[in-house]
């Protein structure tokens, strides 16, 4: 249960409802195939230093494991 100021309680409640309510495998799938398929469409991402990390699978796994 999230309490406190409204500006803090609402994002905490949304996080707990969405992120904590979905299975980890689904989060991995959505991050890797969802965001991972969107990033190559933008040339400014492919030309940046982040592309060497974003084209691999492990950053998405780290984000999913950190969030849940």
Q: What is the pLDDT of residues 38-65, one digit of tens each?
A: 888 888 988 999 888 888 888 888 888 8
Domain spans of the chain, in order of start: 23-67
Q: Which residues contact 25 (CB under 8 A, 6 or more apart)?
A: none
Q: Are 23 and 64 in contact (CB under 8 A)?
A: no
- Quote the pLDDT of residue 1: 58
6: pLDDT confidence band, cut at 50, 70 and 90? confident
Whether this prediction's pTM lies above 0.75 is answered by no
How far apart are alpha carbons 58 and 64 in whole angstroms?
Answer: 10
């Amino acid at each position: 249960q999230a309490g406190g100021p409204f500006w803090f309680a609402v994002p905490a409640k949304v996080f707990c409802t969405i992120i904590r309510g979905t299975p980890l495998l689904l989060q991995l799938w959505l991050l890797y195939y969802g965001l991972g398929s969107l990033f190559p469409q933008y040339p400014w991402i492919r030309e940046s230093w982040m592309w060497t990390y974003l084209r691999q699978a492990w950053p998405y796994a780290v984000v999913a494991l950190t969030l849940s």
